[in-house]
Amino acid sequence: MKARIVWLILCGIWGSTWLFIKIGLNDLPPLTFAGIRFVLASLILSSLVMMRRVRWPRTRDEWSLIAISGMLQFTFNYGLVFWGEQHISSGLAAVLQSTFPLFGLVIAHFYLPHERITTVKVAGVLLGIVGVAIIFSDQLSIAGSVALLGSVALVLSAVFGSYSNVLVKARGTHIDPQILAAGQMVCGFVPLLVIGVSTEGNPLKFHWTTMAVISLMYLVVVGSVIAFALYYWLVRHMDVTTTMLIALVTPVVAVILGMIVLHEKLNWRLLAGGACIISGLALIVLRKRHKTVSFHEADAELVSQP
């Protein structure tokens, strides 16, 4: 019962982060907003690592992996998420980014010998592609070119993020998860802040409203640190394949919250396209329920959440 409650809490947290990103973007520019989030989150995670007295990586290969995967995950992935969500609804952003595992399946085929493309995986990926195509169809005339670019940014973010996860699965499963996340954040937030400050201005002069601060702190404390702790507790107390079902629920939560709080409108393209994407994910996730998945394989899925 306790594990199920934690599972529901995680679905709520990761489904709600899209809402708080959207609220924060009303007052804060995207790249610096994302950069500051990960500065604060990495400080907290690094402090936890030091309290645990875990050994930090010592080899050049380990740090190269952390740096490369960190830039893919936190600079490109999250940079595109925050930039793209300026121009589209929080629910649509969550649905498009949920294609993350589908791209990961294709990339994993070339890096992970035990994760080859199968007929079921191809069907799942194709369903996801159809879903994205439905959402994109006629979006230029419905929402305008900027919204179309925002949607493209979310799909590209999923590509970069999934590539980072595959690299970690292929070469970094021996690295402690907290160290990996903290190191990736540090390597990822530096380019975000450099580009952000140079193009968006001095953070001290931003419009720091109460809601902007609340959004930032929610994303740092709840969306990053608390969710991180809950996730790793969960994978020790629940079947790992069951935790993967979170990926099917979070887009639905994000869409519902967007409708209730931000009065975002639902159209048939988002419904139909989202149904295809989630169905494609379900094919893959439910198939994995029949296989044994290692703890570290689940570790790599964590950072796909917003």
Domain ranges of the chain: 2-304
User: What pLDDT band is residue 292 in, cutting at 50, 70 and 90?
Assistant: very low
pLDDT 10s digits, 208-243: 999 999 999 999 999 988 988 888 788 777 765 566
From first CA to last CA, the distance across the chain in angstroms is: 26
Cβ neighbour number for residue 295 with a 10 Å cutoff: 12
pLDDT exceeds cutoff 70 at 58: yes
pLDDT exceeds cutoff 90 at 104: no
pLDDT exceeds cutoff 80 at 116: no
User: What pLDDT band is residue 26 in, cutting at 50, 70 and 90?
Assistant: very high
Q: How far apart are CA 289 and CA 187, in angstroms?
A: 34
pLDDT exceeds cutoff 50 at 300: no
pLDDT exceeds cutoff 60 at 158: yes
State pTM to two decimals: 0.88
pLDDT exceeds cutoff 50 at 65: yes
**pLDDT score recorded for residue 143:** 60
Beta-carbon contacts of 157 under 8 Å, excluding residues fewer than 6 positions away, are 76, 77, 78, 79, 80, 81, 84, 97
**pLDDT score recorded for residue 52:** 87
**pLDDT score recorded for residue 244:** 67
**pLDDT score recorded for residue 75:** 96
User: What pLDDT band is residue 107 in, cutting at 50, 70 and 90?
Assistant: confident
Contact criterion met (CB below 8 Å) for 99 and 156: no
Distances (CA, A) of 198 to 40, 120, 128, 257: 20, 46, 37, 34
Contact criterion met (CB below 8 Å) for 183 and 70: yes
**pLDDT score recorded for residue 49:** 87
* Measured CA angle at 304 (ends 57, 86), to 5 deg: 120
Mean pLDDT of 28-54: 93
